[in-house]
Amino acid sequence: MIQKSTIDQVFDAARVEEVIGDFVQLKKSGSNYKGLSPFTDERSPSFMVSPVKQIWKDFSSGKGGNVVAFLMEHEHFNYPEAIKYLAKKYGIEVEETEQTDEQKQQADERESMYLVSEFAKEFFQKKLLKTEQGKAIALSYFKERGFTNATIEKFDLGYSPDVWDAFTEEALKKGYKLEFLEKTGLTIVKEQKKFDRFKGRVMFPIHSMSGRTLGFGGRILTNDKKAAKYLNSPESDIYHKSKVLYGIYYAKQSIAKEDNCYLVEGYTDVIQMHQSGVENVVASSGTALTSDQIRLINRLTKNITVLFDGDAAGLRASLRGIDLILEQGMNVKVCTFPEGEDPDSFAKANTKEEIEEYLAKNSKDFISFKASLLVNEAKGDPIKKAEVVRDMVNSIAKIPDQIQQEIYLKECTRIMDVSEDVLYSSLAQINAKNTKGGTEKSSQSPRNFEVIKQPKEVKSKVNRQFELERNIISLLLRYGKEQDEFEEYVYREDQDNNLELVLEKHEAKVYEKIFLDLQEDEIEFTNESFKLLYEKIIYEFNIKSDLKIETFINELTPDQASEITAILMAEEKNILHRWVDQDIFVKPKTELEAREVSDTILNLRLHLVKQKVFELMESAKENIAEHHQEILEQVIEYKKLEMNIAERIKRVL
C-alpha cells in the first residue's frame, strides 16, 4: 500500500494539463485548455482541462475528474498504478508498506500480464547487453543497422537467446505463473511441453502511449526460410495490434509539438528516424492501418504524412489506408523516397536537416500523389482513365468536410482534365449509394443546397427540483468555505401584531448558511446522487473545514465524479459553445454573490411549497366528501406561505 505522504506529494506536484498533454493535443483557450476527446471519435473539441481547478471534463462522453481519474480512464490503470506513474514522472520516491501474500494474489489478471511483459523486456535487455552470445550475435546486428548504445537503451531493444526455454525457465524461477506467460504469448505450451515463442530473435518491445510494455516484435537472425522473418506477440487482454502504434510513446510529444505525424511501416524505420533527430514518427507494427490507430494519432494532430519506400511493392494497395485517414477528417500528405531507399536507409545516410528538407520538398497532397501514380497507369487508355477518375472521386467522397471536398474536386478537375460537373455528378452518385435508402442516381448537383424544414423539436420538461439541488451542490463546491454577509427578508410581528418583512443581515460561511437553512426547513434532496454528494461535502467542511477538489473527487464513484466536473466546468462548456461568436456574452462566475445563495434556497422552498399545494389539490379531487374541508384549509395556508416566499424572493432580487 502506498503511504499517504507519497500520495499527497504526488497530488501537490502533478499538473493536470502537463499529464493530459502527454496523451491529448491541448490548445490554450483563455485560462483553460481544450482538445479532441480521447474517449470518443469526434472532430470538434469537447474536452476541457482547467489548470486552476486541476480537473478535466470530456463533454462528449460525460467523463471527468482529476489527474489520477484521467490515467485510470485512459490508460486503464488502477489507483496505485496511476500514483506510481505520476511519481515517476515528477521524480517522487514512492514509499509503500510491504504487501502481504494475500494482497499479491489479489492483483488482477491484466496487471499480472503487464508485470510478466515488463520482466520479459528486462530479461531480453540483459541477455543483449550482458551475455557473450547476446553481444556477439544480437548487439552486432543492431550495430550493423547503425543503432547507437543510447538508441538501443531508449527503445529497450533486447535479445531472446537461441535456447528453447531460456526465458520461460527464468520467469518460472522468479515466481511468474505459467498461466500469464502463456496468455501474453511469451511462452507456447503444447502437450506438457513449454518453449519460448521468440527463441533466437532480436526483440522490439511495443509500448502503450504511457510507456507500458504491451507486447513484442521479434526478428529472426538466421536464414531459416521456414521461420517468419518478423514475429509479433499474439492478441491478448493487454495487446491489441489494431489499437497500437509502434513508437507512439516516444513520438507523442514531438507529434503534438510539430503538429504532424510521419507514418512508416517497420520498427527499424521508426528507430532510425528517431536517432537522426526526426522524432514525430510511428509505425503500424506490420499490420494494415486501422481506424483505431488513426484515432490514436488524431488525439495529437490532424496532420499525417505517409512515407513510402521508393520501390514499395503494391503501392496502390497501400493507398487504401489513405482513404481510412480521410474518413477520420484528417489532412493527408504522401512522400516517397528515391528508388531503392526506405525511411531506415535514408535516415541513416542523411542528417536531420537533410531529411527534413527532403520531406518538406517531396511531400505531396494525397490527391496530387494519387493522380500522378494512377495517371501513369492509364496513359492512352480512356477506360483506365475513367477508372482512375472514379477511384479519385471515391477517395474524395470519404472526406467529411464539404469545403475540403469541393477544393479537392477542383484540383482533380485540373489534374485529370475532366469537367467539374461530371465529377460533382459522380460524387453525388457515390454519396447516394453510401446513404442508407439513397438512390443510385441523383439528378441534382450537390452544390445546390436544399433547405429542409426540420420538425419542431419536442422540448423535454425541466425538472426544477433537480436544477435547484444541482445549483446548491455547485454553490458548495465553488464557494463553500467563503464567508460573506447575507441579507434575508423575514416576517416579524410589529407592535400591532401585524406581520411585516424585515431585512436581517448576518455573516456566515456559505456551507453554514446552506446547511442551517436546509436543516431548519427539514429539506432533503430528492436526487439520490445529489443527496450523497451533499452529505460528503458537508462532512468535509464540518470535519476538515476545507474541501480539496483534486483529492475529494478521487473518493467518488465515476458517476459522481462526472457530475462534479460537469458542475465545475460549466463555464468551460460555454467557451466550447462559442457564444461570443454569436454576440452572446456569458458572465463568468468568479466571485461569490451572496444573493445567489439566498435566492437558490428560497426558490427551493417555493418549489416545494408549490409541489405540496399541487399534491393537496390532487388529494382534494379524490376525497370529494371526506376530509375535503380540511384539505382546502391546508391549501389556503400553503398558498399564503407561497405568496410570502415569493415576496421575499422579489425583495432579494
One-character DSSP codes across 292-310: HHHHHHHTT-SEEEEEE-T
Q: Indicate whether 133 and 152 sit together in one domain.
A: yes
Q: Indicate whether 91 and 116 sit together in one domain.
A: no
Q: List all residues 6 or more positions away from 432 whose beta carbon is below 8 Å from its beta carbon.
A: 438, 439, 440, 441, 442
β pairing state of 230-232 and 213-220: antiparallel
- pLDDT (mean) for 160-181: 95
Band of the pLDDT at 546, cuts 50, 70, 90?
confident
Q: Indicate whether 531 and 599 sit together in one domain.
A: yes
- pLDDT (mean) for 583-596: 59
| C-beta separation of 302 from 273 below 8 A | no
Question: For residue 40, how many other CB atoms are within 10 A of its CB?
Answer: 15
Nearest to 219 by CA among 137, 298, 275, 278: 137
* Residue-wise pLDDT tens digits, 182-214: 999 999 999 889 999 999 999 999 999 888 999
> Of 222, 239, 256, which one is at a domain's C-terminal end?
239
The position carrying cell 466536473 is: 565
Band of the pLDDT at 231, cuts 50, 70, 90?
very high
The predicted pLDDT at position 452 comes to 38
pLDDT at 580 over 60: no
Q: Which of 28-37, 323-332, 438-447, 543-552 has the lowest mean pLDDT?
A: 438-447
| C-beta separation of 155 from 148 below 8 A | no
**Distance separating alpha carbons of residues 401 and 406, to the nearest angstrom:** 9
Phi, psi of 603 (to 5 degrees): -65, -35
Q: Indicate whether 89 and 197 sit together in one domain.
A: no
β pairing state of 32-35 and 483-493: unpaired
Q: Indicate whether 227 and 94 sit together in one domain.
A: no
> Of 196, 221, 239, which one is at a domain's C-terminal end?
239
| C-beta separation of 119 from 176 below 8 A | yes
The predicted pLDDT at position 528 comes to 85
pLDDT at 602 over 90: no
- pLDDT (mean) for 240-260: 90
| C-beta separation of 536 from 548 below 8 A | no
The predicted pLDDT at position 210 comes to 83
The predicted pLDDT at position 467 comes to 87
Q: Indicate whether 529 and 622 sit together in one domain.
A: yes
pLDDT at 215 over 90: yes
* Residue-wise pLDDT tens digits, 388-406: 788 888 888 888 888 888 8
| C-beta separation of 545 from 512 below 8 A | no
> Of 189, 209, 239, which one is at a domain's C-terminal end?
239
Q: Indicate whether 410 and 513 sit together in one domain.
A: no
Band of the pLDDT at 634, cuts 50, 70, 90?
confident
Set of cell numbers at residue 237: 487482454
On whether residue 357 sits in a domain, the answer given is no
pLDDT at 460 over 60: no
* Residue-wise pLDDT tens digits, 351-383: 999 999 999 999 988 887 877 777 766 676 778
Percent of the chain at pLDDT exceeding 90: 29
- pLDDT (mean) for 115-142: 96
pLDDT at 303 over 90: yes
> What's the Cα-to-Cα distance from 110 to each of 84, 87, 180, rounded to whole Å?
17, 21, 9
On whether residue 159 sits in a domain, the answer given is yes
On whether residue 57 sits in a domain, the answer given is yes
pLDDT at 331 over 60: yes
- pLDDT (mean) for 521-542: 84
| C-beta separation of 471 from 607 below 8 A | no
**Distance separating alpha carbons of residues 476 and 541, to the nearest angstrom:** 10
Band of the pLDDT at 447, cuts 50, 70, 90?
very low
Query: HSE on the CB side for 583, CA within 13 Å?
Result: 0
Percent of the chain at pLDDT exceeding 70: 85
The number of domains in the chain is 4
DSSP class of residue 237 equals S
* Residue-wise pLDDT tens digits, 20-42: 998 888 988 888 899 998 888 77
Q: Indicate whether 88 and 154 sit together in one domain.
A: no
On whether residue 142 sits in a domain, the answer given is yes
- pLDDT (mean) for 506-533: 83
Q: Indicate whether 24 and 87 sit together in one domain.
A: yes
Taking the whole predicted model, whether its pTM rises above 0.75 is answered as: no
Render the burial of 387-400: b for 16+ CB within 10 Å, e for the rest.
ebbebbbebbbbbe
The predicted pLDDT at position 445 comes to 42
